[in-house]
Amino acid sequence: MPSTSVRALLVRGMLAGLVAGVFALAVAYLIGEGPVDAAIAFEEAGSHEHGGEELVSRTLQSTAGLATGVLVFGVAIGGIAALAYCVALGRIGRFGPRATAALVALGALLTVYVVPYLKYPPNPPAVGDPDTIGQRTTLYFLMIVLGVLLAVAAVITGKRLAPRLGNWNATVAAAAGFVVAVGLAFVFLPSFDEVPKGFPADVVWEFRLATLAIQVTLWTVFGLVFGHLAERLLAPATAPGSTGAPTATTTATR
């Protein structure tokens, strides 16, 4: 792919990530802040240390701080996903720009979030032992790396099996191998259960559902927006006044 097209896709990916971040921000504010406030209230009720002044107010954290974090994250993952799209386009099957964008978004959601989420689900404030935060963070990122590598291996395996088994059977076999490999990682990696005694179970559940909804919204919107922008860039242009037959010039050369 020409470097000009890669740059154009990178810019569009970051733009799509920004748009997706706006939608994810709305979800985070509407359904994510409630469980966080409940967790903070539980933490404060059980704390006997009332000295010291809060460096950043809760109001600022839930508005400007939340917006900054989510939008910057959206732009960053949009750029990374756009680069992954450049690698995947034309190499994972006969999919057009929109379909490839949808598959990249789905793959990112699955490997970067769902797989680590199932092993190490996120916890609200006041949940988790501070002494194990380093180990938990390391293992979480290890699950992300494993998820991505296993997904890439599954795609390569499926493509190699396709000539012998057919596309459908090869896809099923590769997906089954991915699930088995992830399951083995779940079994052998350590687990953590650090919910404090008396902590409301519904708050943990609502917080985890909220984080999942944020990520699903983020990647769904990104896939739709980036797919549209990528198709406009890469699909053959239609000459004005023609009957709809594409010309040889693509929008990527604009």
- Top pLDDT among 153 and 92 is at 153
Tens of pLDDT, residues 101-160: 999 999 999 999 999 999 998 888 767 677 788 888 899 999 999 999 999 999 899 888
pLDDT tens digit sequence for 164-211: 888 889 889 999 999 999 999 999 998 887 777 778 788 889 999 999
Give the model's pLDDT for residue 248: 37
Half-sphere exposure of 92 (CA within 13 A, CB side): 22
CA-to-CA distance for 4 and 8, rounded, in angstroms? 6
Cβ-proximal residues to 123 (8 Å cutoff; 6+ apart), any chain? 194, 195, 204, 207, 208
224: CB partners within 8 A, 6+ apart: 102
Instruction: Give the integer Cα–Cα distance in Å for 172 and 189.
Output: 26
Q: Residue 55 has what pLDDT?
A: 64
Residue 253 has pLDDT above 70, yes or no: no
Ordered alpha helix ranges (H), 47-166: 58-60, 66-88, 97-108, 115-119, 133-165
* Mean pLDDT (the chain, rounded): 83
Give the bridge partners for 236, in sequence order.
250
How confident is the model over 28-49, as a mean pLDDT?
Answer: 78
Q: What average pLDDT does the segment 5-27 reach? A: 93
